[in-house]
Amino acid sequence: MKRLLVTGGAGFIGSNFVRHLLASDPDILVVNLDALTYAGSPANLEDLPDPSRHVFVHGDITDRPLVDGLLRRHTIDTIVHLAAETHVDRSIVGPAEFVRTNIEGTFILLEVARKAWLEDKLLPVGEVRFHHVSTDEVYGALDPAEPAADEEHAYRPTSPYAASKAASDHLVRAYARTYGLPVTLSNCSNNYGPRQFPEKLIPLMILNALEGKPLPVYGDGRQIRDWVHVDDHCEGLRTILRRGRPGETYHVGGGVQVANLDLLHSLCGLLDLRRPSTRPYAELIAFVADRPGHDRRYALDIGKIERELDWQPRETLDTGLAKTVDWYFDHPAWIEAIRAQPGYRAWLERNYAARGSNG
Ligand code: NAD
Ligand code: TYD
């Protein structure tokens, strides 16, 4: 693992992953390709541990000549593919961009890798790896009594986001099987932590609470998610790159499943302790119209990566949430920059006004 191309490295998980790599592996170069959509920002890449080993490229993963040039110019031996459109609610309002980036973008990366690594033999095939980062959402909703999904679980995606990620997973496996491309895949549960764009549940709720705005809970709030701190995900990815077997899929998750409403009460409790207000933050909770097709329950079995690669999440939900709240408290300028994006305000109005909330 010497010369990596990380896609989507200016986004939430990508920027944490780039930091994690630079801090943990002194002998690697990271080429970071990111289109800087609303979800990506150069601010996420400020104060990197060793910026001299990081090359940022502003560009799109669907730009084949660009990606091809990067692979050859930097003799890339490892691609870690994180770039994606990622928000389920946006995929419901506008699925086209999800098909373009998540399906077509993955296809183009695979094609470039196949040509450079397998046809032109840029590097010995035993030295290259395409790692694809995916989600537990490809499995769709699990029944209440069903065991957590393992790596053999059937794909039943329900949202346009999940369907586009499922399609990309299938393409990656097809390139491994048909052409012999050395790939690994990981399906991860809901991440949280520093630099998560505040359209996702946890940062949205922290920001709303600090402004005294309603905390909009979709439906009855009893939907269950498995939460993993982003640092644990990053270490999981690094572990797979170092020790994962080519052709294999690994689940990365927090091993804890919580209903949204319970999570929100924990978060409000933390906020009450750390930034007391005149009234408990839980009084801001407001039930709003549900997400269409809202998956009731996700749960990932992480036994394989624990057994085979000796990886385990380190953060509990309590420790991880506390660190996350502190990070948002400590970075008001990061928050203000996002609040100043006209598109951000417009998204909140569009998504929440339609649900009968000004959240
Ligand atoms: P994010 O939305 O925070 O960031 C996505 C990044 O990709 C942004 O920096 C954006 O600019 C970039 N990007 C988007 N389209 C692009 C394009 N066409 N070309 C180049 N760059 C582009 O996403 P995230 O939450 O960091 O998720 C990263 C990956 O992890 C995604 O593949 C996602 O499916 C997966 N994942 C996320 C979670 C989660 O809870 N956030 C859970 C499991 C898996
Ligand atoms: P989200 O963070 O969008 O992640 P995902 O849909 O990928 O799981 O949402 C997490 C859960 O929180 C999901 O069940 C939807 C719910 N949710 C709300 O109840 N209110 C909100 O305002 C948001 C953004 C999400």
User: What does the pLDDT look like over 228-238, one tens digit per residue?
Assistant: 999 999 999 99
Distance 201 CA to ligand 2 centre (A): 5
Half-sphere exposure of 50 (CA within 13 A, CB side): 13
Distance 11 CA to ligand 1 centre (A): 6
Nearest CA to ligand 1 atom 43: 135
161: annotated active-site residue: yes
User: How far, in Å, CA of 19 to CA of 9, rounded?
Assistant: 10
So what's the pLDDT on residue 309?
98
233 ligand 2 Cβ < 6 A: no
So what's the pLDDT on residue 155?
98
Q: Which of 102, 134, 200, 288, when mutated, tests ligand 2's pocket best, judged by the most ligand atoms within 8 Å of its CB?
A: 200
User: How far, in Å, CA of 178 to CA of 199, rounded?
Assistant: 38
- Other residues' Cβ atoms within 10 Å of the Cβ of residue 273: 10
User: How far, in Å, CA of 188 to CA of 312, rounded?
Assistant: 13
218 ligand 2 Cβ < 6 A: yes
User: How far, in Å, CA of 111 to CA of 105, rounded?
Assistant: 10
* Identity of the amino acid at 84: A
pLDDT (tens digit per residue) in 262-305: 999 999 999 999 999 999 999 999 999 999 999 999 999 999 99
Average pLDDT over residues 119-127: 98
Task: Give 1's pLDDT tier (boundaries 50, 70, 90).
Answer: low
User: How far, in Å, CA of 338 to CA of 45, rounded?
Assistant: 15
Mean pLDDT in the chain? 97
Write down the pTM of the prediction: 0.98
Average pLDDT over residues 117-121: 98
User: How far, in Å, CA of 133 to CA of 302, rounded?
Assistant: 15
* CA angle centred on 328, ends 324 and 334, rounded to 5°: 135
